Amino acid sequence: MLTAYKFRLYPNEEQQELFSKYFGCSRVVWNKALELRENYYKDHKNDKAKKGLNYYDTARFLKELKQKEEYKWLKEANSQSLQQTLMDLDKAFKAFFQRISKYPKYKKKSAKQSFRIPQHFNFDDGVLYLPKMGKGIRVEVHREFSRDKVKQLTITKTPTGKYFVSITVDDRKEVPKKVQITNEPDKSIGIDMGLKDFAVLSNGIKISNPKYLQRQEKLLKSRQRVLSRKKLGSNNRNKARLMVAKTHERIANQRNDFIHKVSTAITKQFDTIVIETLNVKGMVRNHKLAKAISDASWNRLLQFLKYKAEKQGKNVIEIGMFEKSSKTCYVCGHVNNDLTLNQREWICQDCNSQLDRDINAAINIRDFGLKQIGLNQIPSDRGEFKPVENPLTAELAKMRIKARSTSHDLKKQEPLQQQIAAEAHAL
């Protein structure tokens, strides 16, 4: 099983210059190979007999490129790192054709920079030795890993000027077998994602949305205004750009930390996690909600849940985006097609149950997911819970995550139903 570890690098000025050469060489090779594949497709798109270029074609192109006088400086970089760049480009095209990711883009010098090293590296007492680098580079190793099982390294530089090394380790352990899926309430959970609350769970827990972008928006706008007034190409503009990048980096780090903690707490407690797939790309077309939806990062929560559940042998089930989870009463199954977005609570016309919109959706998501794999018998008490101390709530509290257990006991609905009946009688 492959595991990645990320550590901070502290190169000196000489090493930073060498890194810049490596980043530049990898970026040029990527852009040149991408241009080659695009031109080849334009010239032969009407010829069905000829297919597009692959990694081996671009590798031969790289060999020819190094022989040219104006590109001889490519030899200063590790040849295997440049070959890895071509492999990454080939994987990007395959992912695009399989509709897994977007079309590969040209790399910019101002964006995140990276290159990979597959072998001939070494660690020794907090020092990393790389090929053609000479002196070792100081690295902050805050977690132990099996150094004899390292597969490859990836060196990255963020827009804020920080250097990191990502280490891929193969511990040679088999992926744990999936635990058996049951319909026990304590073993499975449904998650309804939203904007008011980041996530609502089928056991009545509501995790508050931290809205990190909204908190830093005033500072971000101020720094962006300063950046827009600086002269292009000046040192002051570069300083202003760095301040904007640091603000974005801080927001991203806060968001990732929050989602890591939430996903860890959920995967630790539950064996089966059911979540709804969302068309985020279509939802962000609503310009009134696009910023809030992007800030929530629902897809990232799904990604974190998947890889953490796989490592622990847990199950993640995705249901379709067109399931009527909010409009369906989880008690009797009645569908309220008249339910609008501003209605946070509603009463079922068939069984007169008072329903919290988000909790009802979370319970239905869980039930739909279990039925999807053939578990049709759902416990009758699955939706009745009281605001008592919940292990997950306590775990989230330790992580400083705001979460609350809400009451959703159907027996406490009589006063509200009587009030509605009285108003109807008065009319």
* CA 383 to each of CA 204, 290, 330, 354: distance values in angstroms, whole numbers, following the listed order: 8, 32, 8, 12
Decide if 171 is catalytic.
no
CA geometry: angle 399, 292, 230, nearest 5 deg? 100
Given a contact cutoff of 8 angstroms between Cβ atoms, the answer to whether 378 and 368 are in contact is no
* CA 75 to each of CA 17, 35, 66: distance values in angstroms, whole numbers, following the listed order: 16, 21, 7
Task: Compute how many other C-beta atoms are within 10 angstroms of the C-beta atom of residue 419.
Answer: 10
Q: List phi, psi (to 5°) of 37.
A: -70, -35
Given a contact cutoff of 8 angstroms between Cβ atoms, the answer to whether 167 and 119 are in contact is no
Residues 90, 271, 276, 367: which is the catalytic one?
276
SS3 341: coil
Residues 90, 192, 271, 356: which is the catalytic one?
192
Decide if 276 is catalytic.
yes
Given a contact cutoff of 8 angstroms between Cβ atoms, the answer to whether 315 and 267 are in contact is no
| Strand 272-276 versus strand 188-193 pairing type | parallel
The DSSP element (H or E) to which 265 belongs, if any, is helix 235-269
- How far is it, in rounded angstroms, from Cα 357 to Cα 354? 9
* CA 97 to each of CA 38, 52, 58, 94: distance values in angstroms, whole numbers, following the listed order: 14, 12, 18, 5
Decide if 186 is catalytic.
no
| Cross-strand pairs, 153 | 117, 167
Q: Catalytic residues, which ones?
A: 192, 276, 358
